Structure 1
Amino acid sequence: MYPNLNAELARKGWSKKMLAEKLGVRYATILDKLNGKYPLTLNECKDVQDALQTDMPIDELFFTS
């Protein structure tokens, strides 16, 4: 659902499970939010951006195709 986020995860060599661990949330929660089952909040998006240590703007990181 978020191709730029998936690309950033791949560049880091991270899985979505690793992202969930870095954020301190359940893996199922990350999957639900990244697959569009539940919305992401702005604070969650910022947390993901910080965890990835990327300079990519949030609107670009969470661009949907």
Structure 2
Amino acid sequence: MFPNLDAEMARRKITRAMLAERIHKTPTTLSLKLNGKAPLTLAECIEIKNEVDPECTVDYLFQTEE
């Protein structure tokens, strides 16, 4: 659902399980949020951005596929 986030995670060799641990969520919860099946808050987006790449913008990382 968020191709830029997936690409940046792949560049940094960060798996969803690793990211989930870093932001104190279960892998299942993170997966639901990143797949659009559960709501994702702005605070969570910022937390994810800071873990993946603080230099990227939230807008860039969470741009959806069109």
Give the TM-score band, short-chain normalised.
Answer: over 0.9
Structure 2 residue ranges without an equivalent (≥5):
none
Q: How many residues align?
A: 65
Q: 1: distance between equivalents of 2:60 and 2:53?
A: 14
Query: Can you list the C-alpha shifts for 1:23-64, whole angstroms capped at 9, x where unaligned?
Result: 111100000000000121000000001111331110111000
**Runs of 4+ off more than 2 Å:** none
Structure 1 residue ranges without an equivalent (≥5):
none
Task: Look up the equivalent residue of 1:49 and give its one-letter code.
Answer: K
TM-score scaled by structure 1?
0.94
Alignment root-mean-square deviation, CA? 0.8
Identity among equivalent positions (%) equals 43
TM-score scaled by structure 2?
0.92
